[in-house]
Structure 1
Amino acid sequence: MKIIDIVQELEAKAPPMYQESYDNSGLLTGSYDWDCSGVLCTLDVTEAVMEEALSRNVNLIVAHHPLIFKGLKRLTGANYVERLLIKAIENKLAIYAIHTNLDNVIEGVNATIANKLGLVERSVLDPKPNTVRKLSVYVPQTHVGAVQDALFAAGAGSIGNYTECSFFAAGSGTFKAGQGAQPYVGSVGSRHVEAEVKLETVYEVGNERSVLAALKISHPYEEIAYDLYQLENAYSKIGSGIVGKLPKPVNSADFLQVLKNQFGLSLIRHTQLLPGTVQKVAVCGGAGSFLINKALAVKADVFVTADLKYHEFFEADGRMLLCDIGHFESEQFTRDWLTDVLQQKFPNFAVLKSVQNTNPVYYYF
């Protein structure tokens, strides 16, 4: 097992291109070519986590939060980041971070929160633009069905709750094969006219490699004429936060009790309780104040997130129950997600969940 094998599985679930511009996800130390002795999944990289990795004989730490986030100009051990990086290099420990790209997929970080609350009818709260592309390809009429099937199997053609979406129009294509060509139809040196179909479909940008591979395998031509278009459309399964519904309405106080129990909370910072019942719930792991207006726009009754400032609580404006459960607390089940995904793919490999509580915040009562 190589480190690249682990990375490829994670990036198939949360492609690196979905991380935010300020982020630093990816392999931070080590090499993709290293043999992997095992994986330790954690939320944060701390000295205790690093010691645990060494004691459990694994050489890859997969963390949600990147150890290197800001720019580094030296490695002198002057702070905890520099000390941990020096220790990782000395002990040949690879560190991989999967941060906002995992935040931005519907089955990622926010799904772990939604699962704990039992939310149904889920959708992305703030879909990310420029995550959809359109493929336009010319196919001989005899092979339209085969090419469609291959593209759909590779994940193309999904729009909301619909799959196998495409458009095609019949026409005629011309080409003249040159010396050395091996044309599927026609003859070298002669112009050929072929009955063709212009086939168009859309795909998630993170799935482009698989879609193009399927096209090349299924298309009969030696040289395939196709175009790729970047669309401004947002993709419904990529973006920030999740909104869904509780199976049945509850009053605000009961919801807070469920939240407290499911996340093992000692306290919840929240706005004034709403009269009546709540059912529509928006969630965002980590710092989610940037989504308050989005949650209001979809008429969420509750928004669960973390790291809210004093003045941001006013933005709920009596229309929504705003809950701050803490950064670590909101993302604590991410290490379970990482462990489960890798154990399912590599059931006979050492994929371990860290036993360390990396929360740097303590509460005094």
Structure 2
Amino acid sequence: MELIGKSIMEIEDMAYSNLIPISEVVHYLEQTIRLCSHHDLYQSGLVVGNMQNIVTGILICLDITEELLDEAIEKNCNFIIANQPLLIDPLHKITPETYAGKCVIKAIRHDLAIYIFGTNLDYLGSGASHRIAKFLELQDTWPIICEKQILYKLTTFVPFQAKKDLIATLSGEGALLNNENVMDHLSDALVKGGSESELFTNWNTRLSLEKVEEIQLTFTFPVVYKEKVIQALLRAHPYRKVSYYLEPIETIVENRGSGVIGTLPVELPAKYFLKYVRTKLNLVNFQFANTHHTNISEKPIKVIAIYAGNGSQLLNNALDKQVDVFITTGLRYEQFLEASGRLLMIDIGYYAVRLGIKKLILALLSKEFNNIVILRCKTITNPIHYIND
């Protein structure tokens, strides 16, 4: 970089311009994705640390452990993004006698910030559920539950000659033009830049009504754009008093949502499908629901539902979709009983179901913050081990 001829103050300004506070990274995450769907069990957000600290490095992990914090300290990463909540239960005291207490004390002592990223990124169309579906080579995928998005419908009226500029202005703020209708309309609005004498015959007379040709314009836009779209409307509209109507509408996003349903390239008997899952996902162990009503080994498997998270709340949705298999984690014993004879349920474990999350978060952040060190942790945080005979 060429620094000759620049003052010390200018050089310092250049250096600080590259410094990014934790709050900026958090804002990007929360604006880019849906952190809390109604299927998430835990809230996302900063649980330890100061939002205003400057990021020295980001370490992405699944769980918080003391060994993980040691890795963050060693790699000079003061911002940790974890998928599993650290504080599941309220802390009545912070002492080293508890797992959470030890981690909180250590994080505060070393000025580390911990952010819980409680999502599997399915709503982006490329989440952890999609990763498992890709490993299993599923075809023709669609969500278990399609995303419902709330939009605003904006209707306003504008003189014909001002139509083009207003459409361009609102489109630039994220509003999508739906339709336009030409109509004759009695207008009593003052025109910006005009004098009141143009509309009043004299001070004591009533406001004159002028018959003008207006265009009814209808736009839709996401809820988060409401303020800037309305401000742009008031700024760009030629009338001083702008008439408009706002209506919230709910729409279904067909290709985005929670979980994935897909079909196998070739139908398999259940006994071969179980081996197929174990091999493709490189699993050490997993649980599945046997049934007393059918011969599980010969049950034909073709349509698969996957949810890379706690799928206990989505079981009924999977049953309603009439799939052959539901692959997830967090299923309860009574749910295995409930689904007996209706579908094959496979619980692959909470750690295995999230293995792609670190890579997905890394890819998401790298698009925006290419001047920050962003690493996936090397520490194995899975607390569950299996004994194989």
TM-score range, shorter chain: 0.7 to 0.9
Is residue 24–residue 68 contact of structure 1 (8 Å, CA) maintained in 2? no
Pair 1:213 & 2:231 matched: no
Separation in 2, partners of 1:149, 1:320 = 52
Identify the residue that residue 261 of structure 1 maps to in structure 2.
279
Separation in 2, partners of 1:56, 1:357 = 16
Change in CA separation of 1:10 and 1:114 when aligned onto 2, cut-off 3 Å: farther
Q: Judge which range, 88-97 or 313-322, deviates more.
A: 313-322
In structure 1, runs of 5+ residues without a counterpart are 158-163, 178-182
Pair 1:176 & 2:189 matched: yes
Pair 1:138 & 2:156 matched: yes
Change in CA separation of 1:174 and 1:287 when aligned onto 2, cut-off 3 Å: same
Is residue 184–residue 220 contact of structure 1 (8 Å, CA) maintained in 2? no
Q: Judge which range, 196-205 or 30-39, deviates more.
A: 196-205
Separation in 2, partners of 1:119, 1:151 = 41
Change in CA separation of 1:48 and 1:150 when aligned onto 2, cut-off 3 Å: farther
**After the TM superposition, which residues 77-116 of structure 1 pair with which residues of structure 2 at under 5 Å, given as runs?**
77-100=96-119, 102=121, 106-116=125-135
Is residue 112–residue 337 contact of structure 1 (8 Å, CA) maintained in 2? no
Is residue 35–residue 118 contact of structure 2 (8 Å, CA) maintained in 1? no
Where 2:143 maps in the other structure, the secondary structure is strand
Is residue 112–residue 333 contact of structure 1 (8 Å, CA) maintained in 2? yes
Separation in 2, partners of 1:248, 1:217 = 54
Structure 1 position 5, deviation (Å) = 2.7
**After the TM superposition, which residues 200-239 of structure 1 pair with which residues of structure 2 at under 5 Å, given as runs?**
200-205=218-223, 208-209=224-225, 213=228, 216-217=231-232, 220-221=236-237, 225-231=243-249, 235-236=253-254, 239=257
Is residue 120–residue 244 contact of structure 1 (8 Å, CA) maintained in 2? yes
Pair 1:323 & 2:339 matched: no
Pair 1:335 & 2:345 matched: no
| Alignment RMSD (CA, Å) | 3.3
In structure 2, runs of 5+ residues without a counterpart are 1-19, 200-206, 291-295
Change in CA separation of 1:169 and 1:352 when aligned onto 2, cut-off 3 Å: same
Structure 1 position 188, deviation (Å) = 4.7
Deviation readout 1:64-88 (Å, 9 max, x if unpaired): 1222233333323342112212221
* TM-score, scaled relative to structure 2: 0.76
Identify the residue that residue 301 of structure 1 maps to in structure 2.
324
Separation in 1, partners of 2:54, 2:278 = 42
**Partner AA of 1:116 in structure 2:** F
Is residue 132–residue 233 contact of structure 1 (8 Å, CA) maintained in 2? yes
Where 1:355 maps in the other structure, the secondary structure is coil
Deviation readout 1:269-315 (Å, 9 max, x if unpaired): 11343646423211112221221221121121211001222221133
Identify the residue that residue 36 of structure 1 maps to in structure 2.
55
**Partner AA of 2:150 in structure 1:** V
Where 2:387 maps in the other structure, the secondary structure is coil
Is residue 39–residue 351 contact of structure 1 (8 Å, CA) maintained in 2? yes
Deviation readout 1:114-170 (Å, 9 max, x if unpaired): 3333334333212455x312322315245656666776777666xxxxxx7x34444
Where 2:259 maps in the other structure, the secondary structure is strand
Separation in 1, partners of 2:173, 2:142 = 22
Identity %: 27
**After the TM superposition, which residues 338-349 of structure 1 pair with which residues of structure 2 at under 5 Å, given as runs?**
338-349=361-372
Change in CA separation of 1:188 and 1:331 when aligned onto 2, cut-off 3 Å: farther
Identify the residue that residue 246 of structure 1 maps to in structure 2.
264
Separation in 2, partners of 1:154, 1:247 = 44
Is residue 3–residue 35 contact of structure 1 (8 Å, CA) maintained in 2? yes
Separation in 2, partners of 1:197, 1:49 = 61
Q: Judge which range, 91-100 or 50-59, deviates more.
A: 91-100
**Partner AA of 2:284 in structure 1:** S
Change in CA separation of 1:156 and 1:261 when aligned onto 2, cut-off 3 Å: farther
Separation in 2, partners of 1:124, 1:224 = 41
**Partner AA of 1:89 in structure 2:** I
Is residue 156–residue 245 contact of structure 2 (8 Å, CA) maintained in 1? no
* TM-score, scaled relative to structure 1: 0.81
Identify the residue that residue 119 of structure 1 maps to in structure 2.
138
**Aligned residues, how many?**
349
Change in CA separation of 1:84 and 1:139 when aligned onto 2, cut-off 3 Å: farther
Structure 1 position 350, deviation (Å) = 0.5
Is residue 43–residue 358 contact of structure 1 (8 Å, CA) maintained in 2? yes
Identify the residue that residue 54 of structure 1 maps to in structure 2.
73
Identify the residue that residue 354 of structure 1 maps to in structure 2.
377
Identify the residue that residue 29 of structure 2 maps to in structure 1.
10
Where 1:352 maps in the other structure, the secondary structure is strand
Where 2:338 maps in the other structure, the secondary structure is helix
